[in-house]
Structure 1
Amino acid sequence: MQVAIIAITANGARIGASLLSALPQGRLFVIEKHATDDAEPFSSGVAPLVERLWPECDGFVFIMATGIVVRAIAPLLQAKDKDPAVVVLDDAGRFAVSLLSGHLGGANELARSCAALTGSMPVVTTATDANDLPSFDMLAKENGWRIDDLSRVKVLNALLLEGREIAVVDPSGTVKTYCAGKGNLAFHADLERAIQSGAAGLLLVTNREIPPSVDRDRALVLRPVDLCLGIGCNRGTGADEIESVVSANLARLSLSLRSVKCIATARAKEDEAGLLSYAAKIGIPVVFFDSEKLNAVQVPSPPSAHAFAAIGARGVAEPAAVLAADGGTLLLEKVKNGNVTLAIAQQR
């Protein structure tokens, strides 16, 4: 976490220096007249400094009055899943206040760390933390899951605080472990039973598309990022053709694009413009495998003479998907459509 520590007094500078020594990716900024050798001096005022650093930093620790901080950051705020963590310490080092992005941004944890380092008291005001309840956005963050609609976190967290029943469908069992008996949660084996339960809210952990029978206003969908697309294509295949094949097959299997972790292919495709363009469009990384590694994977489809003649691999889509999924299960064996071959594997 890249953290900017900002102080405007001599005592704040001393507190900042003690934090800097324990934050490996920290940078200390101190107003010019109090700056020491370990600090970067500034003289332009807090607000211009913060505006400059805002895009670069994952977190901010201010050692000053909260009011100064609020006025400095207010014009820069975007959304809870985009804003950095903001923590404020008073000049005497008595309190470390988690001010902004407590959960997704990590401010609550940063406040606790600052408190432990300075001997101050952490002040965390997020309602679930204050009531010793699990938080669904933190559940997603800690497991690397994507949140379908961030506004639904607020809805379900409110139901949690009110003690109303929330039906949970999570084949992995992660939610039950994470929540450890806290909250009025009812766990169901499948979606149909959860819907029929009449619970006030619904929490789904799935890589599949959600059917129309689900009331999306009261449902929070968390997406495990566990699908790997193995893609092979002829030289010069366009991004639109690749997208069409992927979209059609995801829809056929009711799988969500939001659960796709990566595209996997042969090393020979490192300069395949259409494939790289498609990956950039959907914001998913591409991983490449040498032909030797591809050939070492046992797959259900027969060897491809065309692929072997072109790049020395007996196949691309299936072995690449399996390798990217750490030996996971093939949900879609190789299909060929036009210039594209596709296989989909689910990570273990």
Structure 2
Amino acid sequence: MSAKKIAIYALTSQGLTLAYRLAGRLDGTVYASRRLEPEEAMPFDSLSDLVSATFHAFEGHVFVVAAGIVVRCIAPHLQSKETDPAVVCLDQQGEFAVSLLSGHLGGANELAARCARAVGGQPVITTATDSVGILSVDTMAVSKGLVIGDIGHIKAVNMALLEGQTVHLHDPEDWLGLAWDTSFVGVARKEDWDCGKPGIWVSWHNDCPEAALALHPRVLHLGIGCRRDVSTYEILDHVNEVFKRYGLAMESIASVGSVEAKRNEPGLLEAAHEFGVDPVFFSTAQLAAIRVPTPSDRVQQHMGVPSVAEASALRASHGGELVVTKEKTDTVTLAIARSSRA
């Protein structure tokens, strides 16, 4: 969690003193009741009105406020465990830092521990796996940078771990680092998967068995060449079609790359936004230095390089390999490279 995206709230003078201590360690933004006449904090009149504006603008919220007040303030803004930010509540003495919301996916358990260390208090973690010293699968996934497919399958896996059951695991590249863990039974092939048991399937393909928890490493780098004024729809449609044809997971998209001349192409920029990544652009010199399997005289003539899509994908993957050579429509050219495990 980025410390710069943490909001800290105080309603009392003692709470404000604690909030300043937290801000010094967390690099957070402090909000304080206007009646305290705060000099180094953002003043507010109504905490509930303030939270309405800040709740989804920050990744984490730390309240030096009574838990009941906090619950009433955040309740109208809760959406899902996938998107809700972390919420931590501290008492005025800083004795306890309670992970109140989004303990695993939002990082509130970690934030509570950081708050406790900052003020010499005790973190209070109530999520079941953490309370018995078992690392939850959602925490593992987040820590390894994996994208969770269907969040609804997390509960079954965590419950199995809590009850000491064996969990199936397909993770041939050992993204989770659990090859040594006897709580998991390695399954190499989909044909050997027992759909009646909880399990985790880690893959950059769209091949997860039914009812398994799919986790996707972000390893696929898209290289895109396009006509001027191409629409976002044309790019998205082509990418979706190619991914479906090759059985690739959209959740594994790590980047979208193209030539520098496309930096201001609205359709390409919007497509990257839809994929949840920032676009990267390369100079013609950078792309010309990449050897590609299918160079094009036409691209050389128009763009000054023998390849845009394949070269951009390879360049973005930092030494990876092409898994899809260029696939073309009348307006969009797409290539996909996979970055190395390292």
- What's the TM-score once normalised by structure 2's chain length? 0.91
How far off is 1:204 after superposition?
0.5
Matched, 1:30 2:27: no
Structure 1 window deviating more from structure 2 (244-253 vs 83-92): it is 244-253
How far off is 1:236 after superposition?
4.1
Question: For 1:30-49, what aligned pairs fall within 5 Å after superposition?
Answer: 30-42=32-44, 44-49=45-50
The percentage of counterpart residues that share the same residue type is: 39
Q: Deviations over 1:18-65 (max 9, x none)?
A: 1122122x12222234344323333x2322222222132221111122
Specify every segment of 5 or more residues in structure 1 that has no aligned partner in the other structure, as ranges: none
Selected match of 2:243 from 214, 237, 250: 250
- Give 2:271's aligned residue: 278
One-letter amino acid of the structure 1 residue matched with residue 11 of structure 2: I
- Give 1:7's aligned residue: 10
Q: Does the CA contact (< 8 Å) of 1:229 and 1:263 recur in 2?
A: yes
One-letter amino acid of the structure 1 residue matched with residue 201 of structure 2: L
Specify the SS of the correspondent of 2:188.
Answer: coil
Figure out how many residues of one structure are paired with residues of the other and give that number: 337
Matched, 1:299 2:292: yes
- Give 1:215's aligned residue: 210
- Give 2:190's aligned residue: 191
Structure 1 window deviating more from structure 2 (284-293 vs 98-107): it is 284-293
- Give 2:219's aligned residue: 226
Q: Does the CA contact (< 8 Å) of 2:317 and 2:338 recur in 1?
A: yes
Specify the SS of the correspondent of 1:82.
Answer: coil
- Give 1:269's aligned residue: 262
How far off is 1:243 after superposition?
3.4
Distance change in 2, residues 1:164/1:247 (3 Å): same
- What's the TM-score once normalised by structure 1's chain length? 0.90
Distance 1:243 1:56 in 2: 27
Specify the SS of the correspondent of 1:116.
Answer: helix
Q: CA RMSD in A?
A: 2.1
Distance change in 2, residues 1:306/1:108 (3 Å): same
One-letter amino acid of the structure 1 residue matched with residue 210 of structure 2: D
- Give 2:20's aligned residue: 17
How far off is 1:199 after superposition?
6.1
Distance 1:326 1:11 in 2: 51
Q: Does the CA contact (< 8 Å) of 2:175 and 2:202 recur in 1?
A: no
Matched, 1:150 2:151: yes
Distance 2:339 2:223 in 1: 12
Q: Does the CA contact (< 8 Å) of 1:165 and 1:199 recur in 2?
A: no
Distance 2:141 2:65 in 1: 32
How far off is 1:116 after superposition?
0.9
How far off is 1:220 after superposition?
0.4
Distance change in 2, residues 1:18/1:256 (3 Å): same
- Give 2:338's aligned residue: 346
Distance 1:232 1:47 in 2: 48
Specify every segment of 5 or more residues in structure 2 that has no aligned partner in the other structure, as ranges: none
One-letter amino acid of the structure 1 residue matched with residue 154 of structure 2: V
- Give 2:321's aligned residue: 329
Q: Does the CA contact (< 8 Å) of 2:144 and 2:176 recur in 1?
A: no
Q: Does the CA contact (< 8 Å) of 2:253 and 2:275 recur in 1?
A: no
